[in-house]
Amino acid sequence: MNTVDLAASSVRELNSRLHGLSADTNERVWKVLNPKGAHAIAAGLMIPIEVEIDGHPGYYCAGMNKEATVIINGHCGNGVAENMMSGEVRIKGNASAAAGATGRGGLLVIEGDAGLRCGISMKGIDIVVGGSVGHMSAFMAQSGALVVCGDAGSSLGDSIYEARLYVQGKVDSLGSDCIEKEMTSHHVAKLDRLLKRSGIKADARKFKRYGSARRLYNFHVDNVDAY
């Protein structure tokens, strides 16, 4: 295992080393110490390595992640795993605003709470939150699943497209065009698989499902004439 102490090395040095690894590298397990709120730690990883961060990283940690597994033993600043493509990012603490924003794939697990706008404009990523999420989560969410074991803040799923939202606790309010939908056995099975993958223990049957009512402009066939 390689250990990089950010008290002695810059984030740029760390990221350069991680980006410089070849696909067949033997250096597959990395530990990062003293993140101390620094930005963009372990962003832009491209190969299936494992990076574990001890402490609280700052903004954009594990952004754009592809294939790698990033584990954060602490809380995370804004935009963790933003635009993630694949792989897995796991936060043992809480995440700040815009966790998993615009994510296209992979699995983001937040064992604690997520802040505001969790999963904003998500495009295929699966996000599982052990605690609660803040307001405007899944805003304009296009695809993928957002699972919230606790409560959701106001305006959940505003202007949502095809993403699926599962919330176990209470929802302060639903955003524009977001409605509660039937939780069929098909959805329970899908959610159960996702929960198992995330390692978060919860009973899939206790969740409610929310999604798009498909009433906004883009869903009206009449508007096709505009193009």
Partner 1 sequence: MCGIVGLFLKNPAMRPQLGQHLETMLIGMTERGPDSAGIAVYHRPVAEGRGKLTLFHPDTNFHWREIGGDLGEALKAEVDIEIKGNHAVLTIAASTDPVREWLKANHPEIRIMGYGRVMEVYKDMGLPADVAKRYDLAHMEGTHAIGHTRMATESAVTTEHSHPFTADDDMCLVHNGSLSNHNNLRKWLRKRGHEFETDNDSEVAARYFAQRLSEGASLEDALRAGLKDLDGFYTFTMSTRGGFAVLRDEIACKPAVLAETDDWVAMASEYRSIAALPGADNAKVWEPAPAVVYTWEVKEAA
By the criterion CB under 8 A, which residues form the site for partner 1?
36-39, 55-56, 58-59, 75, 77-78, 94, 96-97, 115-116, 134-135
Contact 52, 13 (CB under 8 A): no
Nearer to partner 1, 96 or 168 (CB): 96
Within 8 A by CB and 6+ apart from 144, the residues are 103, 105, 119, 122, 123, 124, 125, 126, 127, 163, 164
CB of 196 to partner 1, least distance (A): 29
Instruction: Give the span between the Cα atoms of 9 and 205, in whole angstroms.
Output: 47
Nearer to partner 1, 90 or 135 (CB): 135
CB of 75 to partner 1, least distance (A): 6
Q: What helix, strand, coil percent values describe the chain, rounded to 5?
A: 15, 25, 60
Nearer to partner 1, 56 or 187 (CB): 56
Nearer to partner 1, 65 or 78 (CB): 78
Instruction: Give the span between the Cα atoms of 46 and 100, in whole angstroms.
Output: 17
Nearer to partner 1, 77 or 144 (CB): 77
Residues in the chain: 227
CB of 77 to partner 1, least distance (A): 6
Instruction: Give the span between the Cα atoms of 15 and 61, in whole angstroms.
Output: 11
Q: Which two tokens stand for residue 211?
A: 């999604």
CB of 70 to partner 1, least distance (A): 18
Nearer to partner 1, 96 or 159 (CB): 96
CB of 85 to partner 1, least distance (A): 26
Phi, psi of 217 (to 5 degrees): -45, -50
Nearest partner of 175 among 185, 187, 165, judged by Cα = 165
CB of 96 to partner 1, least distance (A): 6
Q: How many helices (H) and strands (E) does the chain have?
A: 2, 11
